[in-house]
């Protein structure tokens, strides 16, 4: 078996996947078997079975999500933004190649169209074949449109067409990741995203980790605050990441703190949304929880 150097080490008879949690912290996972691996024009892709976590998507040596616990990340990313908007009909997802973010968006009966834009076609194709538990047929939903393109370019095209979305969900690589990712978290890009949002639009982004990468996280937060009137932070423990993942929720007109648990539960029920974790009480807890900074 060939494994990309730097992604795995062999100790005795065990294959271990080692990944960086912070600048000086490593986390190790025992690999049962590798199901798929390939080098795309953008990154090294692996799908592997990991002890205690089941299947996992690994990009450039970092676990993106795992079979047993992916719902923690994806429900926490998607539903706060979706319930904050009173009638989300058009949704744009930037990234999210596994299809799980798309899956959660489509649970809302209000959605008429969900566009998922991912730059790496090989990731999407691998997800379709190996990660059925993630997308659960979301790619084939008639409301879905999958676009293989750079997110920045797609947003520019939307600006030219005058296309608008009610909710934008950024499920991209971490802001402290590759150099190309930094532009996706810039003040200029958030301003462009604001321009393609409807007047009462909502944006959410995953934002890495405020403990291990505080400087970069605070930069992203300030860039969003410079564009949107209402901005809230929240964080969620994601087991396969080894830390609490940060998210930033923003809107032109909707204040996340004005939405109470009973409002969230009512909207979920009206839209027929079924979740494993997310509900009104969870939403209120997320918004009220203090953020841990390094």
Q: Are strands 44-50 and 25-39 parallel, antiparallel or unpaired?
A: antiparallel
CATH assignment, 8-66: 2.30.140.10
All residues at 6 or more sequence positions from 269 whose CB lies less than 8 Å from its CB, including other chains:
none
Judge if 8-66 and 70-288 fold alike in CATH terms. no
Q: Which CATH class, in words, describes the domain spanning 70-288?
A: alpha beta
Catalytic residue at 171? yes
Q: What average pLDDT values come out for the chain (294 residues) when binned by 10 residues?
A: 48 78 88 94 94 94 94 98 98 97 98 97 97 97 98 97 98 78 90 98 97 94 98 97 96 97 98 98 97 92
- Per-residue pLDDT, 180: 59
Of 219, 259, 241, residue with least CA distance to 81: 259
Which residue in the list 52, 166, 171, 174 is annotated as catalytic?
Answer: 171
CA-closest candidate to residue 193, choices 92, 76, 86: 92
Annotated binding site for spermidine: 74, 98
Map out the domains of the chain as residue ranges. 8-66, 70-288
Counting every residue written for the chain, the total comes to: 294
φ/ψ (deg, to 5) at 96? 75, 40
- Give helix 261-271 / helix 70-84 axis angle, nearest 10°: 100
Q: Is 96 left (phi over 0), alpha (psi -120 to 50) or beta?
A: left
Residue 62: what pLDDT?
87
Its pTM stands at 0.94
What residues contact residue 272 under an 8 Å CB cut-off, 6+ apart? Answer: 107, 109
Model pLDDT, residue 127:
97
| Binding-site entries for S-methyl-5'-thioadenosine | 43, 118, 150-151, 178
Displacement of CA 112 from its chain's centroid (Å): 21
For the chain, the straight-line distance linking the first and the last C-alpha, in angstroms and rounded, comes to: 39
Instruction: Give the pLDDT score at 20.
Output: 82
The first and second tokens of residue 58, run together, are 């690994």
Q: What is the pLDDT of residue 2?
A: 41
């Amino acid at each position: 078996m060939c494994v990309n150097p730097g992604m795995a080490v062999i100790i005795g008879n065990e294959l271990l996947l080692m990944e960086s949690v912070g600048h000086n912290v490593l986390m190790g996972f025992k690999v049962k078997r590798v199901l798929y691996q390939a080098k795309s024009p953008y990154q090294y892709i692996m799908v592997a079975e990991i002890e205690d976590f089941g299947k996992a998507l690994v990009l450039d040596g970092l676990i993106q999500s795992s079979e047993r616990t992916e719902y923690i990340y994806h429900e926490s990313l998607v539903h706060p933004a979706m319930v904050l908007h009173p009638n989300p009909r058009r949704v744009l997802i930037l990234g999210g190649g596994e299809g799980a973010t798309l899956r959660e968006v489509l649970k809302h009966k209000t959605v008429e169209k969900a566009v998922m834009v991912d730059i790496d076609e090989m990731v999407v194709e691998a997800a379709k074949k190996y990660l059925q538990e993630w997308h659960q047929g979301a790619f084939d939903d008639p409301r879905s449109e999958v676009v293989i393109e750079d997110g920045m370019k797609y947003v520019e095209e939307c600006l030219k067409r005058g296309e608008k979305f009610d909710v934008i969900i950024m499920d991209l690589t971490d802001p402290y990741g590759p150099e190309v990712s930094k532009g996706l978290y810039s003040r200029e890009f958030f301003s462009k995203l604001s321009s393609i949002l409807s007047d009462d639009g909502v944006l959410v982004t995953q934002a890495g980790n405020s403990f291990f990468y505080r400087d970069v996280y605070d930069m992203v937060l300030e860039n969003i605050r410079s564009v949107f009137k209402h901005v809230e932070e929240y964080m969620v423990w994601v087991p396969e990441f080894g830390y609490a993942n940060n998210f930033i929720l923003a809107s032109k007109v909707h204040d996340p703190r004005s939405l109470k648990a009973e409002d969230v539960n009512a909207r979920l029920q009206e839209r027929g949304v079924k979740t494993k974790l997310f509900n009104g009480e969870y939403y209120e807890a997320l918004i009220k929880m203090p953020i841990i900074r390094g």
